[in-house]
Structure 1
Amino acid sequence: MPRSSLGRGLLLAALAAGLALVWLLGGDRLLADDLMYLKTGPIGHAWQFMAYWLGHGGVQAGAMGFLLLLGLAVRKLDLTPTALAAGGLLVQIVKHLVGRPRPGRNMLAWDLQGLSFDSDLHSFPSGHATTTFALAAVLAARFPRWSWAFYLAALFISLGRVVGGSHFVSDVLVGAMLGLVVGWLLAWRCKVGVGGR
């Protein structure tokens, strides 16, 4: 994972360009339908099942607690619960304000309902993608040799949410961008000693 500001900026620009292409070409529904087709087979079914549970906030919090107990958390890793909480809170606020239907609903992808407490209208952005990429960014800052594995796991979980029919590709792209920004800001904050130990 790029550690420089330029590298991070380029990654965010690439994600934003992908998002713009999906939106401009009207491909959100097409991509979601193509990826959801995978869930009919055993591999797709297993993928969406694992993506749901590996990206679940309770499972992620438990994993962070386990890492802390193992002593792998030397100073900077203590931000992982903060990354999980900050990313999760941010995404829940946006979900409730936007009210985007999930792919399984017979509604247009951009038929936004506004303020909503119906979970079927909480597609945008993906909470799993947000928290998973926030955690990946913080873990990658602490363990740079393993950054490829953290980001690959975040991608696996995020795309699995599209395969499972819970999100559109744009939900995952925006969730990944939010998560990366939250994770990078927390890692930077700890590195410069603002609020760190």
Structure 2
Amino acid sequence: MTTLENRANTALLVVDVQNDVVGGAYRRDEVVATIADLVEKARREGVAVVWVQHSDAGLEHGSDAWRIVPELVPADGEPIVAKHYGDSFEDTTLEAVLADRGVGRLVVAGAETDACIRSTLHGAFVRGYDTTLVGDAHTAGDKTAWGAPPVEQVVTHTNLYWKFQAAPGREAGTVEAKEVDFRA
């Protein structure tokens, strides 16, 4: 039901699952394994997998810290979108990559829940995309030292509020990985 014309396809968007981004993240290994399963399912079903990779002053492009975790390997031909801001659409090629593939629906997984995942969800939704968050396939590092709630609460709250997101002509929601239907 996307508001984007001629964009009937779905893509799995894997955001910032990089060594330093998820190094000490909540449920890191479980979340990465869930994302790996989603990637394989998308590939089997012929659904585009689009990778997003962040860099900034603290996460230097080309460094080991910047690399996508070794458990996840982009396949030949799968686009990797470089970004420098929380929203994966902001000042990137993501919109062009998705338009070229006729994508109007995104299934989102990755890190960090309270930053790049939330920003990307909202960025996609306001741009007209149907946007589904995979509730057990996103994570973040502990930011309680700066006054944030524990990560488990951040993940739970994000899953809850995205489940009820609504806007004219667009669909949003939260599903567990086992419920992901790339053909919906």
The answer, yes or no, to whether TM exceeds 0.5 is no
Normalising by the residue count of structure 2, what TM-score does the alignment of the two structures yield?
A: 0.30
Decide which structure has greater helix share: 1
Q: Which is greater in Rg?
A: 1
